[in-house]
Amino acid sequence: MKKKTLIGMLFLMAVLAGAGAVGAQDVNPGRWWRDPGVSRDLSLTRQEQRELDSLYARNREELIDTKAELEKERSRLDDIMYREPFNEDAAKAQLRKVEEKRRKLTSERMRYLIEVRKILGHDRFRTLEGKAHQRMERKDEKGRKQFDERPDKKGRRNW
């Protein structure tokens, strides 16, 4: 059960962290609580929206910085992996740095999710989780449909 809950939390975290989470891509990317439908479904007050705005602003800069740090460490690892002569110890040391930045990013995302949970409470948080799952299913379905509609090499459709 713990594993299933953790997977669900990580899934929701990924959806919330993505631009346009929970279908708000036409409103403000990443600000799902500003989507009128989501706001209505969750019965968000203006005060809660302000709290979410503030949380988002604080968290966004941290995430941007941490993602940039992670990308730099990944780039350094790539450089080491393709360098001749190959230095296994340097590659392992750099991998540890990449893993450290990845853990930091996951931790920051989880802190954000915890704060969202505190603002929403149990029931509305579960509603949000359900909306996130629905959005991902629609996105997956749309991707499969677009793939199926593309012609193959001979110009035939994959219906």
**Residue (of 110, 122, 108, 111) closest to 42 by Cα position:** 122
Whole-number pLDDT of residue 81: 97
pLDDT (tens digit, 9 = 90+) per residue, 9-32?
Answer: 555 555 555 434 443 344 456 899
pLDDT of residue 158 exceeding 90, the answer is no
pLDDT (tens digit, 9 = 90+) per residue, 41-88?
Answer: 999 999 999 999 999 999 999 999 999 999 999 999 999 999 999 999
| Largest pairwise CA distance in the chain | 61
Parse the chain into domains and list their residue ranges: 25-127
Rounded to whole angstroms, the Cα distance separating 81 from 90 reads: 9
